[in-house]
Each structure stands twice: as structure tokens, then as C-alpha cells.
Amino acid sequence: MMPILQIKNLTKRYGGLTANNDISFDVAEGEILSVIGPNGAGKSTLFKQIASFVSVTSGEVLFRGKTISNLAPHVVARMGVVRTFQETTIFKSMTVRENIIVAHHLRSKASLLGFFLGSKLARADEAAFGKSADDIVDFLGLEAIRNELASNLPQGHLRALGMAIGLATGPTVLLLDEPFAGMNHDETMKMVASVRRLRDERGVTVMLVEHDMPAVMKISDRIVVINFGEKIAEGTPAEIQANPRVIEAYLGSEDAAIGM
């Protein structure tokens, strides 16, 4: 089966600085793949390149065999590759439900003029979005804060809302940027379960960047490790944990030399 995403020799240079160098790997349909690496390794740049928020210097990203590199982000989103954000990026002065409803944009059948005139199609869309938003709220267990203003939410809920927004677009591939950051253990475990169900029940392929190693080991089918902009390992969680290059990258060679 053709991989759903193919990352081919992806390189990003900012002037003389190389953020990513020649990174290649595939993502299979329906898998949960994590990208890990020390701070500043280039994970976020990689993510932004895949979602076309950042151009590629060379190399390309293929989605179902078609290139999605250097397109506009909304075009890539329309094709089904949607990212969430590392920062707590949400629509602050909307309620949770409004956030999710507005994110249904890609699913609207009516035109903006149709919505303006309140056409039959537009009203059907509105009803469908409302129902789908409520489904997503239930799916992620956000019932208690459904009508809460997003700017009032605590960190953990903001991450969940970010994921809800991504989910509302109806993605084929969802790129989650540090979905567990700022969460306590319980919240993380709940989120891990949600991401798994996302894949199991909705068939979404999930790619995530994350620092929380226990969560990564628990959730991932496969892991790609990046260090200094280069891919240094790829494999199952067990393989990654035993890989000497990964251990070296994470602990540092000097520390390893003194026996840590």
C-alpha cells in the first residue's frame, strides 16, 4: 500500500542556518507516528513544512503521491492534511462550541453568498456543523466547557480544544504539535486515549511532535528521531529505546562517557 505521506529529502535553510537537512521517511495510512528530538532539533520546522506553513528549500512532501510542498496552508488543509499548533492557538473570544463550528469551514457545501442569504443548503450546513461540533465535544469529553469562552480555559483544555478544531476540519492526516505539553499525568493519559480513538474510530492518520517520552512510547506505532536537523533513527518504540544513537543524542556523549 502506498504510504499516505512521503517525506522526501526535506531540507530547510534560513540563510546560512540549516534547520532541516535531507530528512526522509514515510507515514502509513492509519498509523500514529511521533517525531521526537532534543529542543531545537528541527521538529517544529518539519511540521510546518509538511503543513506548508513554511516553504521547503529542497525536497518535497507527497500526500497520496501528490506533492503538497510550497502550497498555501489552506490548500493543504483542503486536501486533508491539517495541523494543530504548539502555542495555545485558538479563537480566544469565541466559545468552545463556536471555535469548533467555525472550524467546519472545509465541510460547507453552501457558498458564502448562500450563507448570507440563508439558503436551504446553508441552513442544512449550519445544522450539520452544530451536530458535528457536539459530537466532537462529546468525543473529547469537553461537555462541561462547551459554552465556555476559550480565553477562560486552562492549558489542558486549550490543547484539547486545539485538537477539536483540527478534528472539525475532517482531516485525513492530523499533525499534532506537542499535544501533551502543559498537561498533568491524568490529562495526558486522557489525551493519549483520545488520540488513539481518533485513529481507531475515525481512521485519522496521526503524526505528532512531543517531548513527553512516556506518552510518546505509549501512543506511537513508530517513532522518528531528529537531532540537529537530521534524522538519526526510525522504528518502533522498543527499537528507539534501545538505539545507541538516540540515547547519545538525548543524554549527550559526554554524559554517556562518564557512565550516565
Partner 1 sequence: MTKTNLAGIGVFLLVVFVAVPMMIAVSGRWDFYYTLTSVALLSIGSAGVWLTFYIGRINIGQGAYALMGGYVSAVLMTKVGVSFWLTLPLAGLFCAVISVAIGLPILRLRGVYFAMITLVLTEVTRLTALALPVTNGAKGITSIPLPGALTVFGVPLIPDFATIENPKLAFYLLAVTLMVLTYAALWRIVNSRLGHLCRSLQQNEELASSIGVNTAHLRLLAYAISSFFGGIAGAVFVAISQSIYPSSFVVTDSVNFMLYCFVGGLGFVMGPMLGTFLLYFGWDLLSVAREYQLLIYSAAMIALMLVLPNGVLSLFDRREGPK
Q: Does residue 63 sit in helix, strand or coil?
A: strand
Tell me: does residue 86 bind partner 1 (CB under 8 A): no
- In angstroms, the CA 179 to CA 250 distance is 21
- In angstroms, the CA 114 to CA 16 distance is 49
Nearest to 54 by CA among 73, 36, 77, 39: 73
Neighbours of 104 (CB within 10 A): 20
Scanning residues 46 to 65, which ones bind partner 1 (CB under 8 A)? 51, 53
Could you tell me the smallest distance in angstroms from the CB atom of residue 166 to partner 1?
8
Q: Taking contact as CB under 8 A, which single stretch among the options 36-44, 109-117, 190-198, 227-235 is the one that binds partner 1?
A: 109-117
Q: Taking contact as CB under 8 A, which single stretch among the options 25-33, 36-44, 119-127, 230-238 is the one that binds partner 1?
A: 119-127
Helix (H) or strand (E) holding 118: none
Scanning residues 166 to 185, which ones bind partner 1 (CB under 8 A)? 166, 168-169
For 36-80, the DSSP string reads E-STTSSHHHHHHHHTTSS--SEEEEEETTEE-TTS-HHHHHHHT
Could you tell me the smallest distance in angstroms from the CB atom of residue 75 to partner 1?
8
User: Radius of gyration over alpha carbons of the chain, in Å?
Assistant: 19
Tell me: does residue 127 bind partner 1 (CB under 8 A): no
Q: Which residue of 33, 82, 192, 206 would you call a contact of partner 1, by CB under 8 A?
A: 82
Contact 175, 84 (CB under 8 A): yes
Q: Taking contact as CB under 8 A, which single stretch among the options 11-19, 81-89, 236-244, 250-258 is the one that binds partner 1?
A: 81-89
Tell me: does residue 83 bind partner 1 (CB under 8 A): yes
- In the chain, the amino acid numbered 28 is A
- In the chain, the amino acid numbered 228 is F
Could you tell me the smallest distance in angstroms from the CB atom of residue 15 to partner 1?
22
Question: Smaller CB distance to partner 1: residue 209 or 233?
Answer: 209
- In angstroms, the CA 165 to CA 160 distance is 9
**What is the contact surface with partner 1 in residues (CB under 8 A)?**
51, 53, 72-74, 77-78, 82-85, 89-95, 98, 101-103, 105-106, 108, 110, 112, 115-116, 118, 122, 125-126, 149, 165-166, 168-169
